[in-house]
Amino acid sequence: MHITVHGTRTPLLGKEIKVGGEAPAARITKLDGTQNVIGMIAPTTQLLIAIPSLKTEVCSLGAKKFNERVKEMKILTTIMVTTDDLEFVKEYAEKEGIDGAELVVDTNRNFAKKYGLLISEGKLKDRLARAVYVIDREGLVVYKELVPEIVDEVDYDACFEVVEQLLNEKKTGHSHEAWMSV
């Protein structure tokens, strides 16, 4: 797998995640310094957003856009993962009012490796590629976008179309009446 960084082909390390496959569990660091696990089966739909660095204009803009769009989605867990240092991310979250999504740090690059997003060379070595994953409550990846060129933004509309479908989906099963008539 690879992306381009300012037009230069750049390989990614880690296992490629495919739509329809299981979302791996990945360890990340929360802003209070504690470790947590994201991915896999969860009580709500998960939106995982890989951000190369909040210190860049495109990444900062993307974080703000996602934060605004998810504020009203109460049954969605939105996690923005970056490889920036913890203190910077804490300051950024406070300064920019990031409160609709949770910002976390991929300190050990566990998320990057498990999701196939670790940039392996160049000036962005050990950073995340820009990507978005939507994971249903069963732990399956239902949407993935790995942005081919690092300086481009994700397709917000396509991502949120899938999110809204999942959030509006009614679980099917048998009703009490149907069960009684069998």
pLDDT in tens, 7-36: 999 999 999 999 999 999 999 999 999 999
Residue with the larger pLDDT of the pair 178 and 57 = 57
Domain residue spans in the chain? 2-180
- Res 151: pLDDT: 92
**Fold held by 2-180:** Glutaredoxin (3.40.30)
Q: Which among 12, 59, 124, 166 is annotated as catalytic?
A: 59
Q: Is 159 a catalytic residue?
A: no
- Res 75: pLDDT: 87
Contacts of 128 (CB under 8 A, 6+ apart): 50, 51, 52, 81, 82, 83, 106, 111, 112, 117, 118, 119
